[in-house]
A and B are shown apart, each in its own frame.
Chain A
Amino acid sequence: MGYDWGTLRHWQVRQESDGILWLSLDRADREVNTLSREVLNELAQLLDGMPRQPLPGVVICSAKPDGFIAGADVSEFSALVDSSEALKLVEWVHAIFDRIERLPFPTVSVVHGFCLGGGLELALACSSRIATEAPETRFSLPEVKLGIHPGFGGTVRLPRLVGLLPALDLMLSGRSIDARQAYRIGLVDNVVPERQMKAAVRSAILRAPSRKKRRFLNALSRLRLVRRLLTCYLRAAVAKRAIKKHYPAPYALLDLWERFGGNPG
């Protein structure tokens, strides 16, 4: 292949004859793909090794038969001793995902089966997303159910992509949606049967999808006053389903959004 990726345990890399580079995640030690430190380290390593001459495009997919990525490796969270360490982890992941977002060629994530939490946030960093139409394909950001909220950039990228209300709905409820619903809200650019996956990838790379301009409400929500009114309403809606004392995560998410909106700074 001619590129030096270093040694990789969890990622398989292959370049097809059309030049498209396929990165498939296949966690060596687990049945299910999660974003462990090691996996992310290797992803950073892959980004370091990206060739200088432009590629037609990069595909991120899973080599596991039944799913894409189930999220961050939650077992590693318990090793975090304080919030500064958590912040360091999050900023490190942000830097990696930002590098993917800034790659000078199209990036496509191909999703079959579950695409949860950090896995979805990685997919969001790509320039387009393609889902297989299998009923097993599900998207969700279930962090609130663990008492946390999306921390790998989903809180910023998801509203930007699908609009404010669908994004908050997904993030606050933690519920999952199937491929068709994901297509309807604009989370994925195409839903195709497995047999048309390659054609869909080629098409996504050859003509990068036109980003739909996201609605009025997104623009409006740049105004602090609007955000304040909306969060009031949403806090009341959340309060009907979760008591703040026991479930602080959705409230924290709303606080975050009220302060910063869709502005990553």
Chain B
Amino acid sequence: MYRTGSYKTGRTVHIVDGCRTPFLRARGKPGPFRASDLAVAAGRALLVRQPFQPEELDEVVLGCVIPGPDETNIARLVSLRLGCGKHVPAWTVQRNCGSGMQALDTAATNIACGRSDLVLAGGAEAMSRAPVLVNEAMLNILGEWNRSQSIAKRISLLARLRPAHFRPVVGLLHGLTDPIVGLSMGQTAENLAHRFQISRERMDAYAMESHRRLACAQDEKRLAEIVAIYADEGTFFDHDEGVRRDTTMSALARLQPAFDRPFGLITAGNSAQVSDGAAWMILASDEAVEKYRLPVLGSIIDCAWVGLDPGQMGLGPVHAISQILNRQQLGARDIDYWEINEAFAAQVLACLEAWQSSEYCRVELGLDAPPAAIDPDRLNVDGGAVAIGHPVGTSGARIVLHLLSIMARNNARRGMASLCIGGGQGGAMLIQRFEGVAGGI
């Protein structure tokens, strides 16, 4: 019934349910939830409404880029806390910003090849809790301290301490810097802005629109995939905190460049926000759908991963999308709705420019002519990471989840979700649903 693509030698992969936490803004100190807390909160709400028991899952796959020090193989911790029991295997996948989508791809592949029938897959990230590390000079002193026997030796060690020893290594900043090309993610976006001559005004206008769309989606209750979560002290969170309803072009224009000081164009205002959040989907084979009478919301048709210059990593979606369209023999017009993760406003705009540039399409994609344009009114229709936030390991799952809800709302057939990945990669996922099938997430 479905044309199946890279999974075509295998079984159909159905999406049967999904949900996510609201995305919480990082406020410069550890947020109220660890990544595993977020994943458990969303997972609990999701599993409680299923007709099967958590123990009946075949596996749990979770994407996470920077789990806390007490969260090694965070997927297993979460799986056990969700009551999946000791017999359900769980593992963590990491492909930087693509981790959440990688978890879906991994789950889908295992279903397609017959290893699994029912999988819980998603992403979780608490960026506000990214580890802050003790530097190497200090570790050397601590090592000697532990080995030293005499008081005199310890006093001499203390005398060697300098302010530099107390300088922390901020994990998040290192995580968002490409060690190969020595550029921060923001600087790779500056590269794209320079290459495609994207002005500060265009980026800021794009950011404004992202906030406007999210605010509108919140007002019209179009974010039904969000489940409220509760912190220990009783506070609760039920919406994405990143939205700025009162932002204006002049307020955005006043922001200083965040990466290339003092001449850059990329600011905190036209970049994705640093935030905490988790998202899940439940994927199932035909057999599982039949066995538990699960609702089929849509199917995962294809997924592509590509590599490109790390200094131009923001163009990853162009390559990944192009690969899927080519493999599926589809044109851009066959796609009803698009999600391209907004790592940076400039980066999404650069993707759209590259997509329509005959030179880029010829040289980099090997196409004779640019494909049909991506309609901005069908791209990130309910806002993107600039307004919602970008918990790196989660976003890949969020965009697929929300794309499906947009498609259901509009009774659409095909949707493409894509993101750029730090280190010079891109990922894209094609999903499809039956027209006329009622219901969504």
Contacts and interface: CB of A to CB of B under 8 A. Distances in A.
A238 B194 CA distance: 47
A203 interface: yes
Contacts of A194: 194
Contact of A200 (B187, B194, B263): B263
Interface string A170-213: 00000000000000000000101111100110010000000000
How would you classify the secondary structure of chain A's contact residues: helix, strand, loop or mixed? helix
Interface residues of B, number: 9
Contacts of A192: 260, 263
B191 interface: yes
A258 to B, nearest CB: 41
Contacts of A200: 263
Contacts of A190: 263
B190 interface: yes
A76 to B, nearest CB: 39
B10 interface: no
Contacts, number: 22
B315 to A, nearest CB: 15
A190 B191 CA distance: 19
B275 to A, nearest CB: 28
22 contacts: A190-B263, A192-B260, A192-B263, A193-B187, A193-B190, A193-B260, A194-B194, A195-B190, A195-B191, A195-B193, A195-B194, A195-B260, A196-B190, A196-B194, A196-B260, A196-B263, A196-B264, A199-B263, A199-B264, A200-B263, A203-B262, A203-B263
A234 to B, nearest CB: 34
Nearest to A193: B260
Nearest to B200: A199
Contacts of A199: 263-264
A31 to B, nearest CB: 27
A194 B311 CA distance: 13
Nearest to B265: A199
Contacts of B194: 194-196
B323 to A, nearest CB: 28
A79 B238 CA distance: 83
Interface string B263-293: 1100000000000000000000000000000
B190 to A, nearest CB: 6
A200 B262 CA distance: 9
A193 B182 CA distance: 12
Contacts of B260: 192-193, 195-196
Contacts of B262: 203
Contacts of B264: 196, 199
A162 B67 CA distance: 49
A199 B193 CA distance: 12
B166 to A, nearest CB: 25
Nearest to B190: A195
Contacts of B191: 195
Nearest to B260: A196
Contacts of B190: 193, 195-196
B101 to A, nearest CB: 29
**Central interface residue in A194, A196, A200, by most chain B CB within 10 Å:** A196
Contacts of A203: 262-263
A190 B261 CA distance: 11
A137 to B, nearest CB: 15
Contacts of B263: 190, 192, 196, 199-200, 203
A190 B262 CA distance: 10
B176 to A, nearest CB: 17
Nearest to B193: A195
Interface in B234-267: 260, 262-264
Nearest to B264: A196
A193 B361 CA distance: 27
A199 B263 CA distance: 6
A101 B263 CA distance: 26
Interface string B193-234: 110000000000000000000000000000000000000000
Nearest to B194: A195
Nearest to A203: B263
Interface in B147-196: 187, 190-191, 193-194
A200 B264 CA distance: 9
Given A196-B260, A196-B264, A200-B263, 12 more contacts: A190-B263, A192-B260, A192-B263, A193-B187, A194-B194, A195-B190, A195-B191, A195-B260, A196-B194, A196-B263, A199-B264, A203-B263
Interface in A200-250: 200, 203
A195 B189 CA distance: 11
A194 B264 CA distance: 11
A200 B265 CA distance: 12
Contacts of B187: 193
Contacts of A195: 190-191, 193-194, 260
B380 to A, nearest CB: 26
A195 B193 CA distance: 9
Nearest to A199: B263
Q: Which of B190, B260, B262, B263 has the most CB of A within 10 A?
A: B263
A203 B261 CA distance: 13
5 A-B pairs closest in CB distance: A195-B194, A199-B263, A196-B263, A200-B263, A196-B260
